[in-house]
Amino acid sequence: MKLDLDGRTALVTGSTQGIGAAIAAGLAKAGARVVINGRNDAGVAKAIETLQSQVPDGEFVAGAGDVTTDEGARRVLDSAGRVDVLVNNLGIFGAQEPLEITDDDWRRYFEVNVLAAVRLTRLTLPAMTEQGWGRVLNIASDSAVVIPAEMIHYGMSKTALLGVSRGFAKAAAGTGVTVNSVIAGPTHTGGVEDFVYQLVDKNLPWEQAQREFMKTHRPQSLLQRLIEPEEIANLVVYLSSPLASATTGGALRVDGGYVDSILP
């Protein structure tokens, strides 16, 4: 299979580390010009340096800016130029007692995890439909379907992304543009390591802490381990490619069998 993205520009939000950085590397390996996004110039520059060492032939462009604001989103898009592939990866998460989640917390999770994706889709979709080709991918989570008791505000935001993806897919019907969401399972990133240690003994070595977390808090995983970011990226790169031209309006799972259903 040749996942040919030569001549295409991809914007990956929140791509200075973790899943976003892995997606950026994967898209670059497929030939895309990849816009790296983070809040500040220094963080983006450092990420590009790391990515360039991983993909020496890759083309990376700095796209610093806060996409949770209209001004920041437009700044990033100005840096990007034309966007053929939009990957809305930016997201926040954290454990919190349900009755202690404030109105401000609810708003923040919605604005960062949902509204930023909506804003960028609204700004990029017209040009994609005009040229008759484009890809929009929203990185959701198993938490969209299996709402975690310890972070229902996060689960709510990821459920919303599934609806957003389906709705925009209908808006792009018949244009050659596809819109999908990717349901990522529990994934091994630095942020997740911090989250794991919120829920298990902080004195445990990482491998033991990970096993305890999966056993106690994610026992339904068929993989029985955390997913590596590159495994999420593999599906995203495929869905970004011309080979995925008949896949749209879907919620595609790369969750290690975490969601106990045949369909999401």
Rounded to whole angstroms, the Cα distance separating 90 from 14 reads: 4
Residues 6 or more apart whose CB falls under 8 angstroms from that of 42 comprise none
Q: Is 75 exposed, middle or buried (0-12, 13-18, 19+ CB in 10 A)?
A: middle
Cα-based distances in Å from 246 to 27, 29, 171: 19, 23, 16
Return the number of other C-beta atoms located less than 10 Å from residue 105's C-beta: 13
- Tell me whether residue 154 is one of the annotated catalytic residues: yes
3-class secondary-structure state, position 12: strand
Per the CB < 8 A criterion, the answer to whether 13 and 47 are in contact is no
Helical residues (DSSP H) of 138-259, grouped into ranges: 152-171, 190-199, 206-217, 229-240
Which is catalytic among the residues 154, 197, 238, 258? 154
Catalytic residues: 154
